[in-house]
Structure 1
Amino acid sequence: MNTSTLLRRTLLSLATTSVLMGGHAPTALAQTVADKTVLRISSPAVPDDWHGKMWDVLKASLNKSAPNAYDVQINLNGSLFKQGTEPAAMARGNLELASISAFDIAKLVPEFSIFTAGYVIRDPKHQQKVFNGPIGDELFKLASEKMDVTILATVYLGTRELNLRDTRKVNTPADLKGVKLRMPGSKEWLFLGDSLGATATPLAFGEVYMGLKTGTIDAQDNPLPTVRAAKFYEVTQQIVLTHHLVDSLFIAVSNKMWNSLSAPEQKHLKAAAQAAAKFNNDNRIQEEAQILDFFKKQGLKVVTPDQAAFRKAVQASYDKSEMAQNWPQGLMDRINATK
């Protein structure tokens, strides 16, 4: 007997029992369904991006380790909460899980703003070693205390590059003067955009495609797999390989949910989050190694600027900023020394 047939017969049996017992069996069934722990997930990711697909991995992992224990509800495209508003929703108890950025965390944990600076994390391996070691432990503890969220895994979002609506000569930051570069709307994101030499322009992710198409913005920055998944290549003509930020997302759960779970349940959820992160990271790294050929076939011009000039300009901007005053003494040296 297959699972579908068994389920139909079980439901029929319960319905028959309900008639004989005055309707009590369906109530028992409803209680069984209701007893599942609801995990609402909010993400701005589009379905075709790896950090959208990774939530299916988390859900499958939980279903395997804890069958019938969770009702995992995945909401992509910012359909439940807009990008950047997820931490507040988790703190209020209106959301259980989300992928939050270093920029989201830095709003309430100023020490974390070091990871919003350009040219700090060198590559994906360096990223994982930093966040899976003592530095990550210390800063994640601060996030838990100040934001009421527990970080479960570090996700490699990709290395951010510039993507221009029109072709132009770009070799140094001076060549971006006057370019309206879309950035998310926090001061940390906008500072990074300005430090690259452009005019940082806040715009929600869901509005970027139309903004590029209509000329509301001249450029956007994202990892190249995101450019492909969101189809920005349809409305742009040039990619500039600045490599200005090795970007991170952090799978986080509200402390309200986390503290309600038993130790085995916490173990299952953390393992599921780490499986999701690994799925994303492995696929994103592989895709990045092959993706430039795709853009060239779409007719986009791909250029490599003077990355040393960009690095020097960006780091000089941060050295003089108020943001750098929030960085714990010696933290940059510790990050640089992590191998």
Structure 2
Amino acid sequence: MTFPLNRRSALCMGASLAAATALPSWAQAPANLRFAAVFSDKDIRADMMKMLAKDVEKDFKIEVFLNSTLFRQGTELVALQRDNLEMGNIAPQDISKQIPAWSLLTSAYLFRDANHLNAFFASDMGAQMKKMVEDQLKVKVLGPVFFGTRHVGLKTKKKINTPADLAGVKLRMPPGDSWQLLGRSIGANPTPMAYAETYTGLQTGAIDGQDNPLPNVQNMKFNEVMSQIVLTSHLVGYDLLTLNMKVWNSMSPEKQRAFQAAADKAIAWSTAEHLKREKELAEGFKNQGLDVYTPNLAAFRENAQKVYLASAEAKEWPAGMLDKINGMK
């Protein structure tokens, strides 16, 4: 059956076709963003990503790939740079491989706590360091994601009070020069090993210990193959929530503001949850039979400072920034 086509119906049809081929932005399909991270689905940060995905779902569909299933640990940054990945959880140590000045932000005992960390990244100094990443690596830094303060966990029952007590101890550290320097700065023999292999490494004796925040210890069940946790507090652990710069630049200013606000909200929630979990876990691990104690922190700080200031990395640090960070309240 056919219908006569008069001028009025032709105009209506033309308008309909125009609407179909030029849909408003709110009617377009959400852009797909793949997010890659080393952490597991039991991690608080996995829930952080669910929160972020929910808040931006009108414009973006975030696909989350955890446990290094999409890219192996340490390769996520290059994937972002090569436009093979849209979002990533990036360790500052990976950034320091390409921007040596960033090694300052990976040094032991630099930040006192999560508040100090966040205050730095909200400051002009933080903006300067983020701009380096955006200009040189073409990656957008949405913010630092605190995941707990790193402590030493050991299989051996040897009591640790000073860095000298860690001499010869094979301490698992992630691969990379910044991580190895961190291990040496607290007196240990750093042993590069992937995060996913750490449990087996402890179990088999390939390593004597590992350093991670308490929530990570629980998530990965490292406590099952350790006898003690030495509360060295040698590094305020954080990664960076990042976005491929082409993706960021493709957003309108309005969408950029909305995406950043959603990221800030999710990160703040994650930080609060990690702080709460840390307090609970210190007592919980004691109740499970692990020896949990605080060593001579002054000795650890002094040793770390000496090692870092004598390192080649320190020569690349922005002039005066260390003192300014130390002077922040």
Does 1:273 pair with 2:267?
no
Cross-structure match for 1:160: 150
Q: Quote the offset at 1:106 in angstroms.
A: 0.8
In the aligned structure 2, how far is the partner of 1:338 from the partner of 1:82? 36
Q: Quote the offset at 1:261 in angstroms.
A: 1.1
- Aligned 1:15-34 pairs, distance under 5 A: none
Tell me: CA distance 1:33–1:86, structure 2 relative to 1, closer, same or farther (3 Å). farther
Q: Quote the offset at 1:166 in angstroms.
A: 2.0
Q: Secondary structure at the match of 2:98?
A: coil
Q: Secondary structure at the match of 2:300?
A: helix
In the aligned structure 2, how far is the partner of 1:130 from the partner of 1:34? 38
In the aligned structure 1, how far is the partner of 2:47 from the partner of 2:72? 18
In the aligned structure 2, how far is the partner of 1:168 from the partner of 1:297? 20
Identity of aligned residues (%): 40
In the aligned structure 2, how far is the partner of 1:197 from the partner of 1:222? 16
Q: Quote the offset at 1:269 in angstroms.
A: 1.5
Query: Which of structure 1's runs of 4+ aligned residues deviate more than 2 A?
Result: 32-36
Cross-structure match for 1:84: 74
Cross-structure match for 2:94: 104
Cross-structure match for 1:42: 36
- Aligned 1:97-246 pairs, distance under 5 A: 97-246=87-236
Tell me: CA distance 1:130–1:95, structure 2 relative to 1, closer, same or farther (3 Å). same
Q: Quote the offset at 1:43 in angstroms.
A: 0.6
Residues 225-275 of structure 1: per-residue CA shift (max 9 Å, x gap)? 111111111111110010101122111101111111111111122112112
Q: Which residue identity is paired with 1:102? A: P
Q: Secondary structure at the match of 2:281?
A: helix
Q: Quote the offset at 1:33 in angstroms.
A: 10
Q: Which residue identity is paired with 1:141? A: K
Q: Quote the offset at 1:52 in angstroms.
A: 2.1
In the aligned structure 1, how far is the partner of 2:89 from the partner of 2:261? 16
Gaps of 5+ in 2: 1-20
Q: Secondary structure at the match of 2:150?
A: strand
Structure 2-normalised TM-score?
Answer: 0.90
Q: Which residue identity is paired with 2:242? A: A
Aligned length: 306
In the aligned structure 1, how far is the partner of 2:46 from the partner of 2:161? 33
- Tell me, yes or no, if the aligned pair for 1:43 and 1:52 is still in contact at 8 Å: no
Q: Quote the offset at 1:103 in angstroms.
A: 0.5
Cross-structure match for 1:52: 46
Gaps of 5+ in 1: 1-27
- Tell me, yes or no, if the aligned pair for 1:57 and 1:279 is still in contact at 8 Å: no
Given candidates 314, 320, 330, the residue that maps to 2:304 is: 314
In the aligned structure 2, how far is the partner of 1:237 from the partner of 1:152? 38
Q: Which residue identity is paired with 1:119? A: Y
Q: Which residue identity is paired with 1:218? A: D
Given candidates 49, 53, 71, the residue that maps to 2:61 is: 71
Q: Quote the offset at 1:276 in angstroms.
A: 1.6
In the aligned structure 1, how far is the partner of 2:96 from the partner of 2:117? 17
Q: Let me know the Cα RMSD of the aligned residues.
A: 1.6
Residues 140-193 of structure 1: per-residue CA shift (max 9 Å, x gap)? 000111111010122112110000012111111111111110001100001110
In the aligned structure 1, how far is the partner of 2:291 from the partner of 2:174? 25
Q: Which residue identity is paired with 1:45? A: F
Structure 1-normalised TM-score?
Answer: 0.87
Q: Quote the offset at 1:82 in angstroms.
A: 1.4
- Which stretch has the larger CA shift, 219-228 or 69-78? 69-78
Q: Which residue identity is paired with 1:331? A: M
